[in-house]
Amino acid sequence: MNARCAFAFLWLAYFCHCTLSCPALCKCYSRRAEVVCNEVPLTEYPSEGLPKNTTMLTIQFTNITSISEQHLSATPLLKELHLYGNHLQHLSSNLLRGVPHLNTLDLTGNKLTDLPADVFSHAPLHSLVLKNNLIEKAESEWLPDNSNLTWLDMSGNHLRKIPKDLLQKLPHIENLDLSNNRLEAISADSLDMLTKLERLNLQNNKLEILDASLLQNTRNLTYLFLSQNKLNKIPENLFQELTQLKILSLDENQLSHIPPGLLDQLNSLDEEGLDLSSNPWLCDGKVEYLWRWIQKNKKKLFLPEIIRCVGPQSLSGRSVMSLTESELNLQS
């Protein structure tokens, strides 16, 4: 056998090993270098048999409780790792050191609590999902300075605050989801570095007030979700820079009034893009601005007829849009 034939034989053997090997209980798709282990009785990470050329790996709804740097080093070309709905409780600080091409990491629905420093610092992640875990405290040390993240989802955890130092490491972030936590406040300048932010989800937290300057540098914001909080006041200039905003949800808060001019800059709102329902609107003289805005912008409101007064008693239950000038003691 000459040298050229020998080389071809060795290359073919390596290729066949990479494409034909597959862990037990998993499915391998050689053409797209993908491995899927879905709803199978795995108790350990399936390192053995993983093709080295794997670029996408999904392990979901299994009984795996741990994952290590050694496990991931079996697939050095990995770009996407989806670990949805397992029983992971801990991650090592060097977890991603063996996957230098990893750009997507989804850890949704595990049992993660405390995460070590530098845990996400060894791979060029663009998307990180930590949704529906048991995390009580977010740490800036998780990420490198000037992180590449464009998508961060920490919804459905037990966070009471989000560190300003962590957010300032996200200059490229476009989607930030902190919904379904226990956030009580967000510091005034915590979003200043997020100039590329397009989507911010803060719904279902415990926010009572937002600083007037919070959104002054997020001029690219197009979706803002603030529903199901405890907001009782909105600063007059909060939305002043959001000229690109298409969707704004403020439903299920404690708003009785909004300040004059609050909505004037929101010319880009989609049809039915603003939700103000399920707030205790007080239909006294201070409701004039909201009433006049609704008359001119009905199409931009989601179900405007259910934006209702809770007081005074004579107007209780009435929709704000149905009120007349005489009922509000207004002059034409």
Two tokens, residue 329: 């003691």
pLDDT(10) > 50? no
Has residue 316 been placed in a domain? no
- Looking at residue 17, its pLDDT comes to 41
**What's the total number of domains in the chain?**
1
Question: Is residue 114 a part of any domain in this protein?
Answer: yes
Q: At 63, which CATH number?
A: 3.80.10.10
Query: Could you give the percent of the chain with pLDDT greater than 90?
Result: 90
Assess if residue 308 is contained within a domain.
no
Q: How far apart are CA 5 and CA 12, in angstroms?
A: 10
pLDDT for the residue 4: 55
Q: Is residue 90 part of a domain?
A: yes
Predicted confidence (pLDDT) at residue 24 exceeds the cutoff of 70: yes
On the 0-12 / 13-18 / 19+ scale of CB atoms within 10 A, 163 is middle
Banded model confidence at residue 16, pLDDT cuts 50, 70, 90: very low
User: pLDDT value at position 15?
Assistant: 41
Neighbours of 12 (CB within 10 A): 10
pLDDT digits (tens, 9 = 90+) for 319-332: 999 999 988 887 65
- Measured at the alpha carbon of residue 229, what is the angle toward residues 236 and 198, in degrees to the nearest 5? 65
Cβ-based neighbours of 150, under 8 Å, separated by 6 or more: 126, 127, 172, 173, 174, 175, 196
Q: Is the pLDDT of residue 18 over 60?
A: no
pLDDT tens digits, one per residue of 64-97: 999 999 999 999 999 999 999 999 999 999 999 9
Average pLDDT over every residue of 243-250: 98
202 is written with which tokens? Answer: 């803060």
Q: How many whole angstroms separate alpha carbon 26 and alpha carbon 186?
A: 43
Residue 110 lies in a domain: yes
Q: Is residue 22 in a domain? A: yes
271: β partners: none
Count CB-CB contacts under 10 A for residue 313.
Answer: 8
Question: 308: which DSSP letter?
Answer: B
Which range marks the domain in which residue 77 is found? 17-128
Residue 325 inside a domain? The answer is no
Question: CA quadruple 214, 209, 260, 305: dihedral positive or negative?
Answer: positive
Domain contains 252: no
